Structure 1
Amino acid sequence: MNQPGDAQLAVAWERCDWNERETPMSRREREASRGPYLASVPPAISGMAFDIPSDVAAEAEDALVEISRFDAELAASLPRADGELAPLAVVLLRTESASSSQIEGVTAGAKALAIATLNESSGQNARMVAANVEAMQQAIDLADDLSTDSILAAHRALMHGQIHAHPGRFRDEQVWIGGGSTPHTATFVPPRHARVPALMEDLVTFCRRTDMPVLSQVSIAHAQFETIHPFNDGNGRTGRTLVHAMLRRAGVTRRLTVPVSAGLLIDTEAYFAALGSYRDGDPTPIILQFSRASFTAVGNGRRLVDDLTGIYAEWQDTLPSRKGSAARRLLPHLLSQPAVTVKHIQQYLDVSQPAAQRAVDQLVEMAILKQVSTGKRDRAWIARDVINALDQFATRAGRRA
């Protein structure tokens, strides 16, 4: 059984030859980078037993119950005949994706992200976060088929178009975290690339186990993924999609993505320190981080849902259009996609261009939509109330756009 600092779980180390690269560096750096370096050798965990302290296990179980309760609370409002509140699940997916990217320094405000998802002109960060939304959806859609292939598919979606990351492929070279131009002075050196495929197969086998408390299993799987660091880039974001795939697979969540990464944002230093403790053989800190992040995320998520349902109710009271009008049919969509163009509305509602334009004009008149510039000829409009609610969510989570 594993105890804090147990050598069974701690990574081992192996000496690796270093082929000096033509990288500009000072004489001091070059001297420190001579000779072999040490790369980690993570243990196989698929059949490992974990003895989690009872108080830590209890906190993780409480967090899991809270996640399920939140999922059920929202699900209770979804089965309405018209399905009007269904987009709230998409909103939570988007906020989780944005927060997940923020952990690695990729930021985008709600307005920029909403415009980016229309494929309109937007900044690089917004486009990257929009890609992360697609990757998160990939993970959720493939939760029933959790495999190395589904993980590669999520990475392919996340890193689409970023050639340096080799989207959808495990890395074929050494990578390291921090420390400059070579692995010799790095903060952490993941395993050699030749070890990655076998380690990932072992991790997937671990993820499929049914004999462990779910949140403890999810936390350990996430830490092991980050330790393997199987990709050239995008490891953190892909690893956090694995969290949601496992929660969905275990039946903890059915309808939505609980914004766990937003909870982790409250104390990123503690999160990275917990990963370090895991590599030293102690899984307790990472389990505690995920438990506490879950409580924080659920509380913040509930507030976001309250804000959005309040906005939606006010819109319904304000808009004089008849129930089946294009303008009224568009309202629930604005909760999940708060930036629209006339062309987007045409496609989404399957209406003519004049009908889409009339819907926009009505919503502008009622101050539900406001025109913004996208840097292109096509005009776009945003639902300011939704944008403000999402940015307030981000602020509460400690994320700054």
Structure 2
Amino acid sequence: MPWPPIDSEELWFESKYAGFGVAASRRSTLGHPYRAAVPPRIAELDPAVSSATAALVDDAVEALIRFDAQLGGEIAPFASLLLRSEAAASSQIENLTASARAIYTAELGDDSRQNAAQIVANTRAMQSALDLAADLTPASVLAMHGVLLDGDPHHDAGAWRGEAVWIGRSADSPAGAEFVAPASGRVPDLVDDVMVFARRTDLPRLVQIAVAHAQFETIHPFTDGNGRTGRALMQAMFRGTGLTRNVTIPVSAGLLTDTAGYHAALDAYRTGDIEPIVVATAEASFRAVNNASVLVDDVHAVQAQWRESVTARSDSSVWRVLEVVARQPVLTASSLSAQLGGSLNVYRALDALTAAGVLVSKSEHKLRTTVWRSDDVLRALDAFARRSGRRG
């Protein structure tokens, strides 16, 4: 059975500027009819793809499972690094970029760089999604969004939208928009429907994830943060379906390599063609595994260099500190002590690693304390981000 395309309905748009004395040149946008999407309900539909796409999906699934299993023995550093890399890539799709150093410094409480602070919030939303992987419900989606936009003064965090949203052209009116999302009154029922689809256990997993994501983005249930929440939901489904068990596969980094193709695939889904979004997700999975594998190799090389640079007994506390540095390459004495349980004098270890050239220390005015960082790990993370943004 072919996948049903979205339908549409005519609604009336009344600008929020109505009655506020807007300029005459904009009065035509105060009220007018427009057409909004009416997505099909998909909870009981079975997505079918071509044999070629099914073979691609099978290969991508095998690559994902193999990579995840390979890191099963060293989860500590890479679970953290890959989670943050996925959050940064997902944010970059929305044109939110920041260096690895800025992101990790923002995690310590420096909110002076807005993009970095939003990426940190996205990291928390991704972690929330993983924590909720066994509970794929509308409530869990609201929880992810609530974490993502917590404290945002312009949008309601963790709440379905109560107004029209659209993509393209004017910010004041849906007239001429590329896509107008469903009426807000349809959102709760549509989200419930797609989450029933997401919980099914009788579908090819990567196909299911791709279709659920495309349907979620079509619903566009929030006034902001739809893309980031939708990609966090993808990570919850990767974990919930068992495609990943140990680490976050940075699939957003794979999508980022071809954002035009990603958005075109979402457009095709709305016409009833699911193949492009399934292919885009599978190909993004391959790119994510390849890129993440290079990151893993780079961090392994950094750790090998540490072992050559640091002279200390095998039971020295510096090795415990370096385990933290590998997953948290920017830290303060207090953040390090918290991760180690306050069981050792961290200053002695930090001074030794600074003297060995492994760490660099700097007084951060915004944090009112000294910050230590590993430039080698940060360079590896920035190289990952550059590869993600490379077309090809």
The verdict on a shared fold, with TM-score over 0.5 as the criterion, is yes
Residue from 104, 107, 119 that aligns with 2:94: 104
Report what 2:247 is aligned to.
256
Residue 292 of structure 2 aligns to which amino acid in structure 1? Answer: G
Cα displacement string for residues 256-302 of structure 1 (whole angstroms, at most 9, x for unaligned residues): 00010000011101111111000111111111111111101100000
SS of the equivalent of 1:381 reads: strand
Counterpart in 2 of 1:36?
33
Alignment correspondent of 1:82: none
Name 1:20's counterpart in structure 2.
15
Within 2, Cα distance between the matches of 1:105 and 1:375?
A: 27
Corresponding residue to 1:215 among 197, 206, 209: 206
Aligned to 2:129: 139
**Between Structure 1 and Structure 2, how many residues are aligned?**
386
Counterpart Cα distance in 1 of 2:339 and 2:237: 31
Give the corresponding residue for 1:293: 284
Query: Partner of 1:243 in structure 2?
Result: 234
Query: Would you say the 8 A contact 1:67–1:252 is kept in 2?
Result: yes
User: Distance between the aligned counterparts of 1:338 and 1:22, measured in 2?
Assistant: 47
Query: Alpha carbons of 1:397 and 1:316: their partners in 2 closer, same or farther (altered >3 Å)?
Result: same
* 8 Å contact kept, 2:162–2:185: yes
Runs of 5+ consecutive residues of structure 1 not aligned to the other structure: 79-84
Distance 1:271 1:206 in 2: 21
- Aligned mates of 2:66, 2:82 — CA distance in 1: 15
TM alignment of 1:137-216, pairs within 5 A: 137-180=127-170, 181-216=172-207
Distance of 1:189 and 1:74 partners within structure 2: 42
User: Aligned partner of 2:116: which letter?
Assistant: A
Equivalent residue, structure 2, for 1:363: 353
Alignment of 1:52-91 (within 5 A): 52-75=49-72, 77-78=73-74, 86-91=76-81
Equivalent residues in 2 for 1:255-334, closer than 5 Å = 255-334=246-325
User: Which region of structure 1 is more displaced relative to structure 2, 47-56 or 92-101?
Assistant: 47-56
Quickly say closer, same or farther: Cα 1:299–1:277, change in 2 above 3 A. same
Tell me the alpha carbon deviations over residues 111-148 of structure 1, each in whole angstroms, 9 at most, x when there is no partner: 00111111135401111101111110110111011111
Residue type of the alignment partner of 1:248 = R
Equivalent AA in structure 1 for residue 155 of structure 2: A
Give, in angstroms, the shift of residue 26 of structure 1.
Answer: 7.4
Shift of residue 21 of structure 1? 3.3
Paired position in structure 2 for 1:335: 326
CA shift for structure 1 position 35 = 2.0
- 1:50 is displaced (CA, Å) by 2.3
| 3-state DSSP of counterpart to 2:166 | coil
Question: Does the aligned pair in 2 maintain the 1:102–1:399 contact within 8 Å?
Answer: no
- Higher mean C-alpha displacement, 343-352 vs 259-268: 343-352
User: How far did 1:399 drift?
Assistant: 6.8
Q: How big is each residue's C-alpha offset from its partner over 1:359-392, in whole Å with a ceiling of 9 and x where there is no partner? A: 1111111111112343232111110000000000
Rounded to whole Å, the distance in 2 between the matches of 1:204 and 1:153 is 14
- Kept in 1: contact 2:358–2:374 (CA 8 A): yes
**Equivalent pairs: percent with the same residue?**
45
* 1:155-203 deviation line (CA, Å, top 9, x unaligned): 1111111132211111111111112110112111000110000000000
How far apart are the structure 2 equivalents of 1:350 and 1:47? 49
Report the CA distance shift for 1:281/1:26 in structure 2 as closer, same or farther (over 3 A).
farther
In structure 2, list runs of 5 or more residues that go unmatched: none
3-state SS, counterpart of residue 184 of structure 1: coil
8 Å contact kept, 2:29–2:173: no
Distance 1:19 1:351 in 2: 58
Cα distance in 2 for partners of 1:306, 1:154 equals 31
**Residue pair 2:90, 2:228 contacting (<8 A) in 1 also:** yes
**Matches of 1:47 and 1:139 in 2, distance apart?**
24
Q: Which residue type is aligned with residue 269 of structure 1?
A: A
- Residue type of the alignment partner of 1:357: Y
C-alpha distance in structure 2 between counterparts of 1:25 and 1:322, whole Å:
74
Quote how far apart the aligned CAs of 1:33 are: 6.8
Taking structure 1 as the reference length, the TM-score comes to: 0.92
Instruction: Describe the SS at the equivalent of 1:86.
Output: helix
- Residue deviations 1:71-95 (CA, integer Å, cap 9, x gap): 01111x33xxxxxx52211111110
Contact preservation (8 Å) 1:319, 1:328? no
| Paired amino acid for 1:173 | E
Take 2:24 and 2:115, find their aligned partners in 1: how far apart are those partners?
32
**TM-score when normalising by structure 2:** 0.94
Query: How big is the shift at 1:249?
Result: 1.0
Deviation at 1:245, TM superposition (A): 0.8
The separation in 1 between residues aligned to 2:142 and 2:334, in whole angstroms, is 33
Post-superposition offset of 1:30: 4.8
| Partner SS for 2:103 | helix
Q: Matches of 2:331 and 2:314 in 1, distance apart? A: 20
Partner Cα distance (2:342, 2:306) in 1 = 21
- The 2-side partners of 1:399 and 1:59 are apart by 22
